[in-house]
Structure 1
């Protein structure tokens, strides 16, 4: 009897579920959306109950679509949005909405922490510059502004770890997600005692850290009944969505860069030792396997930039319609878009960075404007790309995935901007698929080598740089990287 594995991806806007049969390599996919809550400017939260409701709906859709015998389901694993803050009481009930990764309220907490602990010291321990939206500054904000909440907190959890707790009633995290809290020692692969002592945070408030393939327990009977599944199913820990997405693309060792264009955007490269950027421009994090790390450049608003523009100005059109219009537009060498509509990470680590159009004229039309948005995202990813090269990340191939890569036009823009061939993964739901693979490996049903052989059968499309367009975008990129410093200086002088 063929075994099946369920991968769950708790994303920023929806839960995606993937049902995978390793023997036939058949994949079924379902999803269910949920909203973000915006209490005020800079604040972004979500209701964890919405996550579970969306998971239940998604699994129901998946099982109806698949028409399977649930007794064949051997294991489950979860990936999800990183950095977030979920606080629960002794009964395991969340005691406030989750603060998610895109929240920008904690700039003052980051500054105060750096002033006391030391930025260089912090980066040496964690491998990461500290940013608003990380668990650490969000917790410091709670301690300062919601003291009753902090006093009643029994556990501090990441989003995917909370969802897994709902399934198993066990508290765990894994290195690839724990490192995104800002509380983890990237070198020693443990919670940093120095940081915990400095902020007076007790170890028992944090979950135990185990490997991504560790069995966290079986589905609780009441949960299994509610989800329409068997209580005999094992649930494996999983990992953060960025590394699991890379794993879902078949990346398990250095040599290949992974590019993601979703709500945000990132480029990551694996290494067999932690490569920490002393300038704090990119992140160094633990990967899914022991003695494996990755460096990551991240931008806050990739797909979100397109969605912001669509919702506010052309809500009657779909994103694909706007991209089609942009694909017919000519070149606009003087038109730029700075995609910092929700602050920015690489390389500025500035939660108050703002976006802008520059160089608009009466000659510009809708297609030119949309194309400039897509170019702005590509230029921001080029900054990440250049820094990874600068710190010594080794690679010879690049694979891209995420919603933005569905557009061949956007893929070609990115390829020309980076001036390097990029292969588009045909795995549209690589994070959820990566989680399903973790469950399969954790169960002992398959090995990493089995997965490598399976991935070779996936058809992929490779984009190659157009020499003339690469020259054009090199010149435009050199002008693009001058915009933020000048705009930031002007903006600061006006206050």
Structure 2
């Protein structure tokens, strides 16, 4: 009898439930959306009950529409949004809405930690900077501003950890999501007593840490009734979405590297030790694969910059695409091809929403630099793709200081465009590999993690059965050489304007 794996990917906008067969084939998927409340400028919250309803709804739909016997589902596993804070009581009842990763309210709590520990020492323990994005700072904010909630809190959970509790009745988190709490000892894979003490948090409010492959329990009768799953189905805890995507993109051994080109973008590799950058420009996550780490750099606006270009500058292409029932990006790419390497001297800084890696500058702005009367729209369009790729190349160069990277798998919506992939090959001087599935890495990673967790798969190498490479784009040596001075100029442009951005 064929066995199936059910993977839930709890994102920011909704949950995607995906069913895979044990031989790596995608059987079907269902999506249920939920809302985010953005308010007070930098606050972002979600209702945990919405997560649970989305998991129940998508599970039932998958089972019913595909005609699957629930008993043939061998395991349920998870990929989930990270860096959150959901306070629950001893019975697992949410005490308030979840503060999600995008929330930046805890700036004062960052300062409280900085009174005791420097950014550099914090970075060397956690693999990340001390910022308002992480879970411990958000829990501190609740302690300082909602003490009645803090005092009732039994555990502080991330999204997937709450769903695991709803399915099994047990409280756990995995190393990758533990890492996203900002109080995790990265080298020793345990809570950092030092940071917890400096934060003034009760460490018992943090869940027990386990490997991502850990079987957290089995589906209870109550959860089975609501989800359509069979009672007793094993539940593997899985990992944070950014790290399960590493598995789904095949980054499961040292040097295996991928780039996700979505609205934001990141480059992640795999290593046997954390990669610490002296300027703290990159971060390191605990990997889903035991014994590995996932060094990473994430930029704010990648595909988002290309989308901005489409909406604000390429309205003619968008209109023609609507008439032809085609993609406006196809018309844009045709014109980008007609501009030369280096966009005829135009540099685009892609900092439309400030920047994380490698700048860590919330004041950074977007800019077209070097415009001349001879430049045209094609140059502007090409410069946007080049600017995003230049920024990613800085991240790649940091990782390359400690690990050899000669090829890179590319996923996400941006990977659909051959023009952009060739620019990446030339700027990165690396082979660009395009898999058969571009937007299922998180789900695939969660599925493989679940299969390994219950022994259905021997090890993570099975991901190679899931991934098929559809195409490879190799660097053009002339373009590689032409881009070298452009990369230097791109960096100079940012630093020349860094102080100006702060005044804008």
TM-score (norm 2): 0.89
Q: Is the 8 A contact 1:130 1:182 kept in 2?
A: yes
1:175-198: CA deviation from partner (whole Å, max 9, x where unpaired): 122112211000111000000111
CA spacing shift, 1:404–1:105, aligned 2, 3 Å: farther
* Alpha-carbon distance, 1:436 to partner: 0.9
Query: How many corresponding residue pairs?
Result: 492
CA spacing shift, 1:146–1:71, aligned 2, 3 Å: same
CA spacing shift, 1:336–1:117, aligned 2, 3 Å: same
* RMSD of Structure 2 on Structure 1 (CA): 2.8
1:292-313: CA deviation from partner (whole Å, max 9, x where unpaired): 2121111123233344566778
1:70-102: CA deviation from partner (whole Å, max 9, x where unpaired): 220110100112222222233323233323223
- 1:244-283 to 2 correspondences below 5 Å: 244-283=244-283
Aligned mates of 2:110, 2:50 — CA distance in 1 = 29
Aligned mates of 1:235, 1:378 — CA distance in 2 = 39
**Structure 1, 196-205 or 483-492: larger mean CA deviation:** 483-492
**Structure 1, 5-14 or 428-437: larger mean CA deviation:** 5-14
**Structure 1, 330-339 or 179-188: larger mean CA deviation:** 330-339
Q: Is the 8 A contact 1:326 1:366 kept in 2?
A: no
* Alpha-carbon distance, 1:172 to partner: 0.6
CA spacing shift, 1:94–1:337, aligned 2, 3 Å: farther
Q: Is the 8 A contact 1:270 1:393 kept in 2?
A: no
Aligned mates of 1:169, 1:310 — CA distance in 2 = 47
Aligned mates of 1:404, 1:192 — CA distance in 2 = 38
CA spacing shift, 1:156–1:433, aligned 2, 3 Å: same
> Does residue 484 in structure 1 map to residue 494 in structure 2?
yes
Aligned mates of 2:417, 2:203 — CA distance in 1 = 46
Q: Secondary structure at the match of 1:150?
A: helix
* Alpha-carbon distance, 1:56 to partner: 3.1
> Does residue 451 in structure 1 map to residue 462 in structure 2?
yes
> Does residue 416 in structure 1 map to residue 422 in structure 2?
no
Q: Which residue of 2 aligns with 1:72?
A: 72
Aligned mates of 1:301, 1:36 — CA distance in 2 = 20
> Does residue 384 in structure 1 map to residue 395 in structure 2?
yes
**Structure 1, 292-301 or 18-27: larger mean CA deviation:** 18-27
Q: Which residue of 2 aligns with 1:8?
A: 8
> Does residue 397 in structure 1 map to residue 407 in structure 2?
yes
Aligned mates of 2:367, 2:87 — CA distance in 1 = 36
CA spacing shift, 1:20–1:119, aligned 2, 3 Å: same
Q: Is the 8 A contact 1:273 1:293 kept in 2?
A: yes
> Does residue 464 in structure 1 map to residue 470 in structure 2?
no
Q: Which residue of 2 aligns with 1:326?
A: 332
1:353 to 345, 364, 367: 364
CA spacing shift, 1:165–1:453, aligned 2, 3 Å: same
> Does residue 198 in structure 1 map to residue 208 in structure 2?
no
Aligned mates of 1:401, 1:11 — CA distance in 2 = 17
Aligned mates of 1:486, 1:434 — CA distance in 2 = 41
CA spacing shift, 1:110–1:474, aligned 2, 3 Å: farther
Q: Secondary structure at the match of 1:117?
A: coil
Aligned mates of 1:57, 1:245 — CA distance in 2 = 23
CA spacing shift, 1:24–1:195, aligned 2, 3 Å: closer
Q: Is the 8 A contact 1:86 1:94 kept in 2?
A: yes
**Structure 1, 58-67 or 238-247: larger mean CA deviation:** 58-67
Q: Is the 8 A contact 2:365 2:501 kept in 1?
A: no
Q: Is the 8 A contact 1:104 1:351 kept in 2?
A: no
1:425 to 424, 435, 438: 435
**Structure 1, 105-114 or 373-382: larger mean CA deviation:** 105-114
Aligned mates of 1:34, 1:272 — CA distance in 2 = 37
Q: Is the 8 A contact 1:213 1:439 kept in 2?
A: yes
Q: Secondary structure at the match of 1:8?
A: strand
**Structure 1, 130-139 or 243-252: larger mean CA deviation:** 130-139
Q: Secondary structure at the match of 1:398?
A: strand
**Structure 1, 252-261 or 366-375: larger mean CA deviation:** 366-375
* Alpha-carbon distance, 1:365 to partner: 6.6
* Alpha-carbon distance, 1:6 to partner: 0.7
